[in-house]
Amino acid sequence: MTSPPREQQPLQLLSVVIPARDEAGGIAATVEHLHVELRLNGIPHEIIVIDDGSTDNTWDVLQQTIAATSFVTGRALTPATTAYSAVVFSKEAA
């Protein structure tokens, strides 16, 4: 005997966490394309980009993207910061 399917609650907010290291050439386009697809599909969302110690200007590009949008947040990790801290940050931002 199977149970009847449970009624699903509508999605409140999808949090997408993107790790980025030395992605200055592509992070803005990645974030914008992801945002467009989620918006076109009616998915409420936020995009969180974690700059994992980039040696290029990823953080500068990300800051420009954040300033121009309302759906992107970011965090720059130092070499002493662990991946665990990135996960904790993403949960706090949500």
* Span 1-59, pLDDT tens digits: 677 677 888 889 999 999 998 999 999 999 999 999 999 999 999 999 988 888 999 99
Which class for 88: exposed (0-12), middle (13-18), buried (19 or more C-beta within 10 A)?
exposed
Q: Which residues of 16-30 are buried (b: 16+ CB within 10 A; e: fewer)?
A: bbbebeebbeebbee
Enumerate the H helices of the chain as residue ranges: 27-40, 58-68, 83-93
Q: What pLDDT score was predicted for residue 83? A: 55
- Predicted TM-score (pTM) above 0.75: no
* DSSP strand pairing (14-20 vs 45-52): parallel
Biggest CA–CA distance in the chain, Å, is 58
Tokens of 78: 């130092």
Q: Is the pLDDT of residue 85 over 80?
A: no
